[in-house]
Amino acid sequence: MVKRKLGALEKVEADLPNLQHKIRRDPKSYIEDFRAQHYQYESHREIFMAAPSSATDTGIISLRELIDFIAHVADCYPEITKDFPQQLMDILTQHHLILQSELREKIVGSLVLLRKKELLDSATLLQTLFPILISTPSKTLRALLFQKILMDLRSSNAKATNHKLNRTMQTVLYNLVTSDRTSSKGLWAIKLTRELWKRQIWTDAKAVEVMKEASLATNEKVIVGGVRFFLGGDKEREEMEDESSDEEAIDMGRVKHIVGINKKTKKKARAVEKAKATVKRRERKKNAPHPLNFSALHLLHDPQGYAESLFSRHLQSTKSKLNLDQKLMVLQLVTRLVGLHKLHIMHLYSYFQKYLTPRQPSVTSFLASLAQASHDLVPPDDLEPLVQKIANEFVSEASAAEVASAGLNAIREICARQPLAMNETLLQDLVMYRKSKDKGVVMAARGLLSLFRELNPEWLKRRDRGKEASMGLRSGEKKEKRFAEQAAGGIEGIELLEQWKEEERRKKRAEKGLPSDAEDDEEDEEDNWDAWNVESDEDSDDSDGWIQVQSDAEIELSDSDDDDEDSKRPKKKAKSDDETGAEAAAAAAAAEEPKKEESELDKKLSLAATRILTPADLAKLQELRTEAAVNALAGVKGRQSAGNRHHDDPLTAEEIEGLAALSAGKATREERIAHAKEGKLDRSEHKSVTAKRKEKKESQGKSTTNKEKARKKNFLMTLGKAKSKNKRSLVQTRAVLKAHQERAKRGGRRGNTGS
Amino acid sequence: MGSSAKKKKEKQKDFQKAKLKVGKAKAKPDNFTDTSFKAKSITLTQQSLTLSAPTSATQFTHHVSLLNSKSDTQRRDSLAHLTTHLANSRPGGSPPPQPVSTLLQTLSPLILDGNTGVRTQLLKLFRALPPRDVEDHVAQLLPFIRAGMTHLAADIRVTAVEVLAWLVEVAGVEVVGCAGGWIKTLNCFLSVLGWHTEESSKWSASRAAFGKSGSQGKPMVKVLGVLAEFLDVGIGMSGNEDGDVVMGWTEENRGQAGAGVGNSEFPLAQVEAHLIPKTAQPYVYLNLFGQPRDEEGEMYETREDRFRVFAARFLKAVERGVESARQDGGEVGRASSAVSKVLKEAMAYARGAGLEV
């Protein structure tokens, strides 16, 4: 279509944006004009309401533009426009089916704008938009409304959590899900809740309750949506958090440097301010205490009832219309709940009986679910027939290697959680598979063997037990665990902290030139007490008079084996102001030497019992723990043993399949090449070190050296100098040569005289 | 050197003239795109197979449909055609090919048209419409007129006022009596004249008028004149003559009914109330099927009602405005005298009827 030529009138006069701009600057003077436009809007609205479906573009100004205009300046004239939001809401709710899409979007946008200007409260806005969201057939409108609703919820929760609004919204969603269980409208509740959960805006039990009800619906899509949330919602949330914290770091020094050099403009100054604010905000965020966000599975009110109803409704009942994949998902959720909360569902284990055959599609998922469902409070009588069945069906010389290894892995995972499901003869039988020809099977069998070396070496044959387990057996340390026996708890990673402290002490001693194994705990500890708070070391520095008071008031919790050391400490404290170091350390060393070996073991255990861990200690402990976790991940690539998996993490089919890939016959050449290339960096560019450095420099926006500049200089520009060189007089030449000699002596232009 | 010779040759090739040969097609250029296609049948979207000239009725419909055209001249010409058609058919008494109600649906948005020529032509067309047919569609037309009166463009405002003048002349009682016709239209008048607030009505106030105000004096005179007519129909003497159509209870018959003598239908009293009403929608004031109305959108059918509302809401503003217009003097001052005359009549009536002012 040819673009319509604009008349002069349209260009100049019917210019609502211009009027809007003027009103913004001086609302009082333009009140008459605004009033006129408001009447104009009223008349247009009247025309529109008389025939909503046949609304045409009336004249130069359409209703859409008027709505936009009034929404933008409504905050200047609250008295005149007090009915405006309500009118918009009426139009939208009554006529959203027949409105032109542009007008519809404009109305939604204007309502959100009014909300931003605080002329409308969130609850009203959401109560208007949400019913339209779930009833409109238009896809674009739904997308728009969803986005706006989400945005509004986010912005009203940005500064502080708006509990009231959240509660009403959650109730609306809950009612939506529970009112009609067969309809698919619950999907909107799921979408909204999941998104808000991901962004950590809703982290409470009520949101989880909505999802729980969704997963108990009768519509398949809604069920799957709810179940997926429980299986993946928390992971999504963590990823989101990582993502947001991974935003590219701002190098403050670089920013300041650039500003110092470049032309100074207001815009650039603003950019610096912004960067500063960002850095500050991030810093604050980093120091803020970690928000206690429980996973959705922990926030369930009645996990037993929930798991039972899920199981009976979707898995056991013959009326459920779910397909295998969806059923597997539900099964995963049920078993995860069972494993996590140590529940007991009567028919769950017998339900598995039917599916544990190698021919069953996606049997590894079933195996993983079974392993997930076993915990140490499951009666062994329930599990034993299942283990037996897996052994019979999967693990035999006749079956394929992948099948056998999957079976062995599944048995290992079950036994890791409930060792009593195994018996001696079966174990010895299965362990024999480590002599198999196939690598996958061998690895699986070895895994089982090492597991039982830990758990119950007595069941293994003597020659399979290995050195450590045999020694443990002899010393009586390794004992069979009884049913439902609980180990005493401790602090996770405390031994790491102990180790680290030992090392630090050694380093310090080495610096001072003293024997590295002598003890000077006191000083170390003193440092710690000084740095009671991780952040507040500077204020303890400048108020030196008060430090003594704090160190005198130190709390002592000592056992007999630390006695001599402790008895010395107060004395040391008194001295430590004027003299520290050699004398004290020597005394300590002399005292400690004989006792050292025997107390080693006890001490490790007693670190937590003998000291109060300072916040600095705890911070270090946290750091060490993550470090250890990273190391463990890097060391055993892609495979986690049962020991270091977190209690909350799910068990997946991949882990059951394990090394089945190894036994899947020879890989093709391409596969092998791809496999070899996997871990390596991109080798596409071969470059010299200098070239790489240059590139790096360029990417950092740094300049070139003088040498490079000289090299790149245009040839014609150098000509003049070269010519004049020939015309130099003897005196000039002499001066130049002399200067050169002189320079050579100094060692270059910049002079090498420093050293 | 060999390569450069080759390059030279290649370069020359571009500038060599292709030889044309007899009996052979010209060689296609490099960037030739084949646009031929095959189809079983080709349909032309617009084709006229009639041999006889279209009748005047079809031409009329065609021009009505052209009123939504994008081009200004097209709209104007169609309006002109329609006007002549209506004007010619009027004396004969034959009704227009399309009923006025459907015509008005397409005509009324043109009040807000951006083109001046279109609007003047529209006014002519309105004048050519049979007045009796317009009376029933006043409620449809008024929102557009009100939208025009508050339009950003001054020219459109003036046209809208002119249209209102025509409408008052043709169907004054309906204009002031229909739903929203009294308060909302008066509001628009105040907004056009800028009489809403005290400061804005003062002549010394440097009212920051937005948009091109047009030639300052003349529109003001016109608006004042129309306002006088409007008020006259609403609360003045001429509104009094046949103001209470619905009730069928005018001042005259009241006197006659009270006397009971000298009436042609002597034994019967209040005959008109029992006859079939003359208007198209006699019970519209009950608002049985529409949205509930607020105070502004309400119908004010009697002079008394209208005056009460006027006194409560507008009297002060109008008096103030008239006063300042009088002080302005000149043509505007003269025009304001008409309004003040109507006001005086209305006050006299109010005092007579025992209304408080």
3-state DSSP assignment of residue A23: helix
E strands along A376-418, which residues? none
Q: Which one of B112, B189, B287 would you mutate to disrupt binding with A, by most A Cβ within 10 Å of its Cβ?
A: B112
Residues A359 and A235 in one domain: no
A239 and A298 both lie in a single domain: yes
Q: Which pLDDT does position B238 carry in this prediction?
A: 64
More confident residue, A183 or A648: A183
Q: Which residues contact A536 (CB under 8 A, 6 or more apart)?
A: none
Question: Is the domain of A212 the same as that of A94?
Answer: no
Q: Give the whole-angstrom CA distance, residue A118 versus residue A24.
A: 17
Please report whether residue A505 resides in a domain.
Answer: no
Domain-embedded: residue A223: yes
Token pair recorded at residue B4: 């450069």
The total of other beta-carbon atoms located within 10 Å of residue A149's CB is 22
Measure Cα distances from A562 to A568, A599, A603 in Å: 10, 9, 9
List CB contacts (< 8 A) between A36 and chain B. Answer: 150, 152, 191-192
- Cβ pair A422, A459 in contact under 8 A: yes
Q: Which residues in chain A are contacts of B153 at CB distance < 8 A? A: 9, 13-14, 60
Interchain contact B184–A (C-beta under 8 A): yes
Q: Specify whether B197 is located in the same domain as B346.
A: yes
| Residue A11: per-residue pLDDT | 45
pLDDT of residue A413: 92
| Among candidate residues A284, A317, A344, the one where a domain is terminated | A344
Question: What is the average per-residue pLDDT within A292-309?
Answer: 89
Confirm whether A571 is domain-assigned: no
Which one, of A117, A172, A108, A120, lies nearest residue A144 by Cα?
Answer: A108
Residue B90: is its pLDDT beyond 70? Answer: no
DSSP string, A510-560: HHHTS-TT---HHHHHHHHHHT-SSSTHHHHHH-GGGHHHHHHT------G
At residue A14, the pLDDT reads: 57
pTM: 0.69
Answer whether B229 touches A (CB < 8 Å): no
For residues A733-748, give the mean pLDDT: 90
pLDDT at position A472 is: 84
Q: Tell me the pLDDT band of B262, cut-offs 50, 70 and 90.
A: very low
pLDDT, mean over chain A: 80
A228 and A93 share one domain? no
B153 reaches A (C-beta below 8 A): yes
Q: Which residue in A40, A42, A58 is closest to B109 by CB distance?
A: A58
- Identify whether residues A319 and A391 lie together within a single domain: no
Task: Determine how many CB atoms are found less than 10 A away from the CB of residue A272.
Answer: 14
Between the two ends of chain A, the Cα-to-Cα distance in Å is 80
Our CA-based measurement puts residue B196 at a distance from the nearest CA of chain A, in whole angstroms, of 8
What does the alpha-carbon distance between residue A161 and residue A155 come to, in Å, rounded to a whole number?
A: 10
Q: Is residue B238 domain-shared with residue B313, that is, in the same domain?
A: yes
* pLDDT (average), residues A349-378: 92
Q: In terms of CA atoms, which chain A residue is nearest residue B71?
A: A4
pLDDT at A509 over 80: yes
Which has the closest alpha carbon to B139: B98, B113, B171? B171
Amino acid at A115: R
Nearest CB partner across the interface for A32, out of B149, B191, B212: B191
The closest CB to that of B212, out of A13, A30, A44, belongs to A13
For residue A33, give the nearest of B115, B187, B210 by CB distance: B210
A452 shares a domain with A431 = yes
Q: Does A42 sit within 8 Å of B153, measured CB to CB?
A: no
Asked if residue A307 and residue A210 are part of one domain, the reply reads: yes
CB B143 to CB A43 under 8 A?
Answer: yes
A205 has a pLDDT exceeding 70: yes
Is the minimum CB–CB distance between B191 and chain A shorter than 8 Å? yes
Residue A312 has pLDDT above 90, yes or no: yes
A125 and A100, same domain (yes or no): yes
Q: Is residue B21 in some structural domain?
A: no
pLDDT of A539 higher than 70: no
pLDDT (0 to 100) of residue A67? 92
Most confident of A74-83, A643-652, B1-10, B200-209: A74-83
The CA distance from A413 to A569, in Å, is 50
Tell me: do A325 and A386 sit in the same domain: no
A117, two tokens? 């200007």
Separation of alpha carbons A65 and A103, rounded Å: 9
Asked whether residue B66 is domain-assigned, the answer is: yes
Q: Is residue B37 part of a domain?
A: no
Residue A175 is which amino acid?
N
Asked if residue A216 and residue A194 are part of one domain, the reply reads: yes
Based on the fold, state whether residues B106 and B176 are members of the same structural domain: no
**Substitution target from A1, A42, A79, A87 for chain B, most B beta carbons within 10 A:** A42
d(C-alpha A296, C-alpha A231), whole Å: 9
> Does residue A557 register a pLDDT over 60?
no
Per-residue pLDDT averaged across B282-301, rounded? 73
Q: Which of A14, A22, A58 sits opposite B152 (nearest CB)?
A: A14
Residue A118 included in any domain: yes
Query: Does the distance separating the beta carbons of B180 and A7 come in below 8 Å?
Result: no
pLDDT of residue A504: 87
Q: What is the C-alpha to C-alpha distance for residues A614 and A633, in angstroms, rounded to an integer?
A: 29
Q: What is the mean pLDDT of chain B?
A: 77
| Percent of chain A's residues with pLDDT above 90 | 34
User: Do B101 and B223 belong to one domain?
Assistant: no
Interface residue B304 vs chain A (CB under 8 A):
no
Q: Residue A631 domain-assigned?
A: no
Of B150, B153, B208, which is closest to A14 when you measure between CB atoms? B153
Res B27: pLDDT: 80
Read off the pLDDT of residues A366-377 as tens digits, 9 standing for 90 and up: 999 999 999 989
Q: What is the mean pLDDT of residues B80-95?
A: 77
Q: What is the mean pLDDT of residues A710-727?
A: 88
Residues of B in contact with A13 (CB under 8 A): 152-154, 211-212
**What is the ipTM metric for this complex?**
0.74
Per-residue confidence (pLDDT) for residue A86, from 0 to 100: 92
pLDDT digits (tens, 9 = 90+) for A116-125: 998 888 889 9
Secondary structure (3-state) at A379: coil
**CA pair distance A739, A743, nearest whole angstrom:** 6
Q: Do A9 and B154 touch (CB under 8 A)?
A: no
Question: Above 50 in pLDDT, residue A582?
Answer: no
Q: What is the least distance, in Å, from the CA of B211 to any CA of chain A? A: 5
Q: Is residue B49 part of a domain?
A: no
Which residues form the domain of B84? 57-129
Q: What percent of chain A has pLDDT over 70?
A: 79
pLDDT per position as a tens digit, A606-639: 677 777 888 888 888 888 888 887 776 665 444 4
Model confidence at A715: pLDDT above 50: yes
In terms of CA atoms, which chain B residue is nearest residue A41?
B147
Domain count for chain A, please give it. 3
- Residues B124 and B235 occupy one common structural domain: no
pLDDT band for position A448 (50/70/90)?
Answer: very high
DSSP string, B9-44: HHHHHHHSPPPP-TTSPPPPPTT--------S----
Burial bucket for residue B167 (CB in 10 Å: 0-12, 13-18, 19+): buried
Q: Indicate the range of A266-270, A493-497, B138-142 predicted with least confidence.
A: A493-497
Separation CA B227–CA A3 (nearest Å): 40
Tell me how far apart the alpha carbons of residues B62 and A333 are, in angstroms, rounded to a whole number.
69
Mean pLDDT of A427-440: 90
Q: Are residues B108 and B184 in the same domain?
A: no
Token reading at A620: 């270090």
Q: Distance between CA atoms of A694 and B167, rounded to whole angstroms?
A: 83
Q: Is B202 on the interface with A (CB under 8 A)?
A: no
Tell me the Cα Rg of chain A.
37
Residue A402 tokens, joined: 């992948």
Same domain, B175 and B239: yes
Residues B174 and B306 in one domain: yes
Give CA–CA dist A668/A379, Å, rounded. 47
Residue A81 and residue A46 in contact, taking contact as beta carbons nearer than 8 Å: no
Q: What CA–CA distance (Å, rounded) separates A112 from A132?
A: 15
Is B227 touching A (CB cutoff 8 A)? Answer: no
Write out the DSSP string of A572-635: HHHHTTT--SHHHHHHHHHHHGGGHHHHHHHHHHHHHHHSPPPHHHHHHHHHHHHHHHHHHHHH
Average the pLDDT over B252-269 and give the result: 52
Domain of A402 in residue numbering reads as: 347-477+646-665
CA B347, CA B318: separation in Å to the nearest integer?
Answer: 13
Q: Is pLDDT larger for residue A682 or for residue A589?
A: A682
Mean pLDDT of A310-316: 93
Spell out which residues of chain B touch residue A8, defining contact as CB-CB under 8 Å. none
A77, A27 contact by CB (below 8 A): yes
Question: With bands split at pLDDT 50, 70 and 90, how would you rate the model's confidence at A327?
Answer: very high
Tokens 């317009």, residue? B134
- Domain end call among A105, A136, A167: A136
The answer to whether residue B269 sits within a structural domain is: no
Closest CA to A499 of A652, A408, A624, A395: A624
A329/A353 same-domain check: no
Q: For B172-222, write each residue's pLDDT tens digit.
A: 888 888 887 888 888 888 888 877 766 655 554 444 344 444 445 577 888
Tokens of A264: 């100074």
Q: Which residues contact B103 (CB under 8 A, 6 or more apart)?
A: B64, B96, B129
Burial readout A572-581 (b: 16 or more C-beta within 10 A, e: otherwise): beeebeeeee
pLDDT beyond 70 at A3: no
User: Sign of dihedral through CA atoms A491, A493, A499, A503?
Assistant: negative
How many beta carbons lie within 10 A of that of residue A443, not counting itself?
Answer: 21
Spatial contact of A372 and A335, defined as CB atoms under 8 Å apart: yes
Percentage of residues in chain B with pLDDT exceeding 70?
Answer: 81
Q: Residue B326 burial by CB count (10 A; 0-12/13-18/19+): exposed, middle or buried?
A: middle
Mean local confidence (pLDDT), B89-118: 80
pLDDT at A55: 59
Number of domains in chain B: 2
Residues A173 and A299 in one domain: yes
The reported pLDDT for the residue numbered A414 is 93
**To 5 degrees, how large is the angle CA A60–CA A64–CA A69?**
90
Residue B143 domain-assigned? yes
CA distance linking residue B291 with residue B180, whole number of Å: 13
Clarify whether residues B143 and B99 are in a common domain. Answer: no
Nearest CB to A43 within list B113, B114, B147 = B147
- Residues in chain A closer than 8 A to B147 (CB atoms): 40, 43-44, 47, 58
Tokens (6 digits) for B356: 């408080």
Q: Residue A742: is its pLDDT beyond 70?
A: yes
Cβ-based contacts of A21 with chain B (< 8 Å):
none
Tell me the average pLDDT across B335-357.
81
Indicate yes or no: CB of B180 within 8 angstroms of CB of A36: no
State the Rg of chain B over Cα: 32
Same domain for B233 and B323? yes
Residues of B in Cβ contact (< 8 Å) with A56: 68, 109
Q: What is the mean pLDDT of residues A578-604?
A: 48
| Of residues B98, B188, B174, B187, the one with CA closest to residue B141 | B174
Nearest to A58 among B112, B184, B191 (CB): B112
Q: Does one domain contain both B85 and B222? A: no
Enumerate residues 6+ apart whose C-beta is below 8 A from B183: B295, B296, B297, B298, B300, B309, B313
Q: Are residues B143 and B123 in the same domain?
A: no
Mean pLDDT of A255-283: 87
More confident residue, B49 or A716: A716
Across A34-48, A327-341, B38-52, B116-130, the highest mean pLDDT is recorded for A327-341
Residue A602 pLDDT class (50, 70, 90 cuts): low
Dihedral of the CA atoms A299, A304, A306, A307 (nearest 10)?
Answer: 110
User: What is the distance between the alpha carbons of residues B137 and B147, in angstroms, rounded to a whole number?
Assistant: 17
Helices B183-193, B303-313: axis angle to 10 degrees equals 40
Could you give the CA distance from residue B156 to residue B192 in angstroms, rounded to a whole number? 11
The Cα–Cα gap between A229 and A212 comes to 9
How far is the alpha carbon of B152 from chain A, nearest alpha carbon, in Å?
A: 5
pLDDT of B199:
60
Cα separation values, B169 from B82, B86, B166, Å: 22, 19, 5
Does residue B286 contact residue B299 with C-beta atoms inside 8 Å? no
Give A-chain residues touching B192 at CB under 8 angstroms.
36
Residue in this structure with the two tokens 């198209």, named with its chain if needed: B280
pLDDT surpasses 80 at B62:
yes
At A68 the pLDDT is 93
- Closest CA of chain A from B165, distance in Å: 18
Q: How confident is the model at residue A387 (pLDDT cuts 50, 70, 90)?
A: very high
